[in-house]
Amino acid sequence: MSHPIPHAPRKSPRQEPVKPSVNGHKVPDAKTEITQDGKSKPRGPVRRGISFVLGSIGPTLVLAGFAAVFWYGHHNDWRIPKFAALTGEVEPVVDDWCEEHAVPESICVECDPTLMAKGPDYGWCSDHGVHNCVLDHPDVAQLKQPPSRGELAADLQRAARALAIAPRKENNSGCNLYQTRIQFASIEAVMQAGVDVELVERHPIVESISGNGEIVYDPTRQAKLASRVPGSVWRVFKNVGDKVSEGEVLAVVDAVGVGELKTSLLRSLAEENLQQQNVSRLTAARSAIAGARVLDAEAALAKARADVLSAEQSLRNLGLPVDVKRLRGMDEQWVLDELRFIGIPSSIRSQLDAQSATANLLPIASPMDGIVIERTVTPSEVVDPSRMLFQIGDTRQMWLQLSVPLENMNQIAIGQRIRFTPDGSRQDVEGVLDWIDTSADQDTRMLEVRAVLANDGGRLRNETFGMGEIILREEADAIVIPTGASHWEGCCQVVFVRDKDYFSGPDSYKLFHVRSVRLGAQNGDVTEVISGVLPGEVIATAGSDVLKAQLLKNNLGAGCDCVAE
């Protein structure tokens, strides 16, 4: 059975479109509304406005809530208030803190100078290169009892010597940080910051110029000995390290040339004697003989004397002490025996057979008192004048050769004391500077100086290296502070001096005064202060960098327009 299919209703072209919702229901457009009979019609502008406002209330309230939370957090450091504060049961806290100086504002002496007046300001001292110079104005010092006039006079003289002996790092006269005071809220705050203090004291100070050096033999007190004629070594009597005296025989050389010179002298003496007798005889018979014969005899005598002189001088050149005056007129055998062992000490002669001993012996004797530094010979060796046999040195005096920087040349002078510490030794030796080189080393740009060192005890050794120093100045009672207690803050060297009333009472202000100082020599863990502080003042040492940081923070942007000089 067939059923007819009904025709679908046709859509009116004027009917407003209806948008389906999620659940399938049809929702009219915002510009339309549904009537009771199910038909839609356009909404009016008033109704559309009221609908928009009612729909925006929720999101607007949410945005307003977020804005309120952000404002409260920004003005309360994002801290949640206590319940008592919300209910109004706690009193509001008054903000009494100085952020700039890190102390309660009610006691901040920098913000309110009437709480504690600053001391006198004497400004710049051109003589000593510091501000508020305590040497010229001791009332600036943080001392209960000012120093005596005698102490100040001695310190002024020391400062003058220190400034005259060497250039010093300079402070800038335009710096005004010396007027600053660093304050702590309490003693506990100082301890928590790790700040420690020490007294300014007196201590011996030595200012010097240091350099590497070497101890060497004094070349003016050395001798290198060799045989003056070729020969062979007959005997050797001394060894390395033996002490010798001037004239003492070290060895004996058998040299044929020595025997020939002795024979020549002996022959010349005999000829001289013969010619002397001939002249005497002819002179006595002058009236009976021709005058030419007398003249010939006198000429022959003169020649014989010249030969004697030549032979004598040749032996003396070998170091043999020949006394021709003593030999003249003596028996020929006696002269022969005397020449055979000339220069040989009696202790050696006793070991020789006078009949068979050679006449060629040449003693090698020491020309000075000293010790045998080197020996290069053994018996029976053949030697000649080109070969050194012994080196003798007088080690009671040594040389110190020291190299110092060229930039210190204007500070050194002949006569200054030199102190030298040899490597591996704990004992210093001292000498006097007696020579300064006239030119600098072209490679190292160092200047060589020399000092003479006494070595009576024989402790010094040749070619010993070490560190030496030229003493420029010594002060027995210099003003010193611990090394590292001062700080360079950009244009001035400063220390932090504790206020003298620091412990006067529980309510006394815990202050440190900024003081510019001029530093001198540094000796290990102490540094000399030429001017700026006085003995007895208390300065910050360990942890003083905390004070420096606070000083720079307080003056950040204030401008000291000073440039390190």
Cα-based angle 335, 338, 342 (whole degrees, multiple of 5):
140
> At 238, is the secondary structure helix, strand, or coil?
coil
> At 45, is the secondary structure helix, strand, or coil?
helix
Q: Which two tokens stand for residue 380?
A: 């029976």
Complete DSSP assignment for 464-528:
EEEEEEEEEEEEEEEEEEETT--EE-SS-EEEEEEPTTTTS-TTS-EEEEEEE-EEEEEETTEEE
Task: Provide the pLDDT for residue 101.
Answer: 86
Q: Distance (Å, rounded) from C-alpha 367 to C-alpha 460? A: 23
Amino acid at residue number 398: M
Rg (CA), the chain: 54
Q: Distance (Å, rounded) from C-alpha 217 to C-alpha 455? A: 11
Task: Provide the pLDDT for residue 13.
Answer: 45
Q: Are residues 360 and 231 in contact, defined by beta-carbon separation less than 8 angstroms?
A: yes
Task: Provide the pLDDT for residue 296.
Answer: 87
Q: Distance (Å, rounded) from C-alpha 364 to C-alpha 232? A: 12
Q: Which residue has tokens 């050395």?
A: 222
Comparing C-alpha atoms, which of 518, 428, 519, 527 is closest to residue 471? 428
Give the phi and the psi of residue 346 in degrees, each rounded to 5.
Answer: -60, -30
Q: Are residues 174 and 559 in contact, defined by beta-carbon separation less than 8 angstroms?
A: no
Give the phi and the psi of residue 556 in degrees, each rounded to 5.
Answer: -65, 120
Which residues lie closer than 8 Å to 22 by C-beta, 6 or more apart? Answer: none
Q: Are residues 535 and 202 in contact, defined by beta-carbon separation less than 8 angstroms?
A: yes
Q: Please give the chain's pLDDT, 565 residues, in tens.
A: 444 444 444 444 444 444 444 445 455 555 555 555 555 556 667 667 677 666 677 777 777 777 777 777 766 666 666 555 555 555 555 568 888 888 998 899 988 888 998 889 999 999 999 999 999 999 999 999 989 999 999 999 999 999 999 899 999 999 999 999 999 999 999 999 999 999 999 999 999 999 999 999 999 999 999 999 999 999 999 999 999 999 999 999 999 999 999 999 989 988 888 888 888 888 877 766 777 888 888 899 899 999 999 999 999 999 898 888 888 878 888 888 888 888 888 888 887 776 677 889 999 999 999 999 999 999 999 999 999 999 999 999 999 999 999 999 999 999 999 999 999 888 899 999 999 999 999 999 999 999 999 998 888 999 999 999 999 999 999 999 999 999 998 889 999 999 999 999 888 999 999 999 999 999 999 999 999 999 999 999 999 999 998 888 877 655 455 544 4
Q: Distance (Å, rounded) from C-alpha 509 to C-alpha 187? A: 10
Q: Which residues in 335-365 are b (16+ Cβ under 10 Å) and which e?
A: bebbbbbbbbeeebeeeeeeeeeebbbbbbb
Comparing C-alpha atoms, which of 420, 416, 443 is closest to residue 216? 420
Residues in the chain: 565
Which residues lie closer than 8 Å to 77 by C-beta, 6 or more apart? Answer: none
Task: Provide the pLDDT for residue 21.
Answer: 47
Q: Distance (Å, rounded) from C-alpha 509 to C-alpha 503? A: 9
Q: Angle, nearest 10°, between helix axes 256-284 and 332-340?
A: 150
Cα-based angle 186, 192, 197 (whole degrees, multiple of 5):
80
